[in-house]
Amino acid sequence: MALQFNYLLEKGAFTYDPGTKKFGVDIAKMKDAAKELTGVIMTIQAEGRYDSAKSLFDTYVTIPASMQAILDLMKDIPVDIAPRYILAHE
């Protein structure tokens, strides 16, 4: 998830306002950036290039300080809700 987030943030699809500590989404940039990232990942997979995959991972996998600050704000939110998926034949 950090890889996708960081890539999209770098491309301007996500924006961060440190004053409000909120992220925003630029839909037009999101579409282009998502297509680009999908192309990069699919090309790496098709060519089986481990070095390219490792480079992509190493470049984008760290959690930026802005995201960590938001995650820290949510650390006290209870997570005791577990979804239950009911199948039609139950």
Range 56-82 average pLDDT: 85
Residue 83 lies in a domain: no
Range 66-81 average pLDDT: 82
- The pTM score is 0.74
Q: Tell me the pLDDT band of 69, cut-offs 50, 70 and 90.
A: confident
DSSP notation for 43-62: HHHHHT-HHHHHHHHHHH-S
| Pairwise CA distance, residues 59 & 27, whole Å | 24
Residue 54 domain boundaries: 2-73
Residue 33 has pLDDT above 90, yes or no: yes
Is 70 within 8 Å of 23 (Cβ atoms)? yes
Residue 81 lies in a domain: no
Tens digits of residue pLDDT in 35-65: 999 999 999 999 999 999 999 999 999 888 8
| Pairwise CA distance, residues 52 & 49, whole Å | 5
Q: How many structural domains comprise the chain? A: 1
Range 76-80 average pLDDT: 78
Residue 40 lies in a domain: yes
